[in-house]
Homo-oligomer: A and B are copies of this chain.
């Protein structure tokens, strides 16, 4: 039994894998998906190109994981806002504000997650991402309708509408020009008012 994967080795392995994922995440946040070649990711992680393929079967799998992780953070933040205290209107507003503030804080990442052209494999993650948002709002709406806090409506359609509205309203300022990050201050309250109104709150 001349070789066994020791704990220390496994740890280094995991560290390398993590370094690759984090390098990829950083690069996506800086330059978008289009600016991320495997060679570049490897260099940023301090490993050789081939090493990436010891941890991931192909590029798509790597970035699917990157997107999944990045996405989960965003969804969790919004879910937390949805679970907060207050009326439906207040919670919806908290969701929109949370989503928008985070997007403007990392605009390129947000654009990559929401709208940038990506491989089918990664696109699948994005669909899941949007579905997760839809579910948050759909549940919020369904509960509120049942409780009589909102007028009758199709929660799925309303939720899709809300997600689409948020995405569209943010993609416009995110995509135009290079001076992203300058938060269009007026946009967020206006968007949030739109969303609250769209659900028939108050």
Contact = CB atoms under 8 A, between A and B. Distances in A.
A175 B169 CA distance: 22
Interface in A150-191: 151, 153-154, 157-158, 160-169, 171-172, 175, 186-187, 190-191
A165 B123 CA distance: 19
Contacts of A84: none
A38 interface: no
A165 B161 contact: yes
Task: Quickly give the copy total for this chain.
Answer: 2
Interface string A42-66: 0000000000000000000000000
A118 B197 CA distance: 34
A76 to B, nearest CB: 21
**Chain A interface, >50% SS class:** helix
Contacts of A123: 117
Given A117-B117, A127-B175, A197-B198, A160 B165 contact: yes
B158 A168 contact: no
Nearest to A152: B193
Given A157-B187, A161-B164, 14 more contacts: A153-B193, A154-B194, A157-B190, A158-B190, A158-B194, A160-B172, A161-B168, A161-B169, A161-B198, A163-B168, A164-B171, A165-B198, A194-B198, A197-B197
7 contacts: A153-B197, A154-B194, A157-B187, A157-B191, A157-B194, A161-B195, A195-B198
Interface of A: 117-118, 123, 127, 130, 151, 153-154, 157-158, 160-169, 171-172, 175, 186-187, 190-191, 193-195, 197-200
